[in-house]
Amino acid sequence: MSFYNQMLRVLGGNPVERIGTPGGAALVAHEIEHMIARGMGRHVTVGAFSTPIVGGGAGTILDQNQPEFAVAVPEGICIRPFRISAQVESALLAADNEENEILFAVDSKGMWTGDGTFTSENPSNLRTTLGIGSMCRVGSAFTGDMTTTQPGIAAAEPVLDMELARAVEKGDFQGTPATVWMQKLDLLYEPKHSPYLVGPCTLLGYWGGTVANIGGFAQLSWVEGRVEDFFYR
């Protein structure tokens, strides 16, 4: 038998997951599908139609202070990202061993407070009959330095203490830039068990490379609410 017992039950007609420990403690967590139905799902798209965003570092090597997107989670609020996807349009290589990369990460203690130069994003509700907006601050295409702040500590560059996913491609230069072919660079984060990102914290995404890329797109989906909204006790 597993260390944790898992079973489904119905509370008020809503399916939830019940998790019990050997010590007898019980925690009943809402399923993400249930939370979306309740209007707690959010989605934001970075980049517009066929126009990618370049953002931090002008498309070159990753700049920790200038992410391509940031989701700031305030104190008392929790989000669970269940799907993050990015597609980067790589540029032509200039030399051997050039590389491009994508990174999704979390500053688990610091919250972005709205500084820097960026594009404000207004997330859509995954239940489309409801209005747009979020409890979180969301920005993209940072071209001026942003910071995150921990309680009692001065603002500083984000500390990426939790990497969720990363993709890297390295080129093989076989002639002139015009003859170099690079395959697409995509990254999909779709975890089996979505983390509970409890504020204050910040979810961040980056892409770039040793040669300036053309730009990229991203799609983020998560559920959000007060910490107590995620559980039945």
**Per-position pLDDT tens, the chain of length 233:** 332 233 233 234 444 444 444 455 554 567 899 899 999 999 999 998 888 988 677 667 889 999 999 999 999 999 999 999 999 987 776 777 778 899 999 999 999 999 999 999 999 999 999 999 999 999 999 999 999 999 888 899 999 999 999 998 877 666 665 565 556 789 999 999 999 999 999 999 999 888 777 789 999 999 999 998 887 55
Q: What is the DSSP string of 84-113?
A: EEEEEEPPPPSSTT-EEEEEEEEESS-EE-
ω into 158 cis (within 30 of 0): no
Q: Report the predicted TM-score, pTM, of the whole model to 2 decimal places.
A: 0.83
Say if residues 95 and 171 touch (Cβ distance below 8 Å): no
What is the DSSP secondary structure assignment for residue 48, as one 8-state letter? Answer: B
Q: For residue 32, what is the enclosing H or E element?
A: helix 32-37
* Closest C-alpha to 38, from 233, 217, 232, 229: 229
Say if residues 22 and 3 touch (Cβ distance below 8 Å): yes
Q: Which tokens is 183 given?
A: 């395959």
The CATH classification number of 41-227 equals 2.60.120
pLDDT of amino acid 19? 45
pLDDT of amino acid 26? 53
Quote the CA–CA distance of 87 and 73 in Å, as a whole number. Answer: 24
Quote the CA–CA distance of 79 and 43 in Å, as a whole number. Answer: 12
Pairing outcome for strands 111-112 and 41-46: unpaired
pLDDT of amino acid 90? 78
pLDDT of amino acid 12? 40
Quote the CA–CA distance of 65 and 208 in Å, as a whole number. Answer: 13
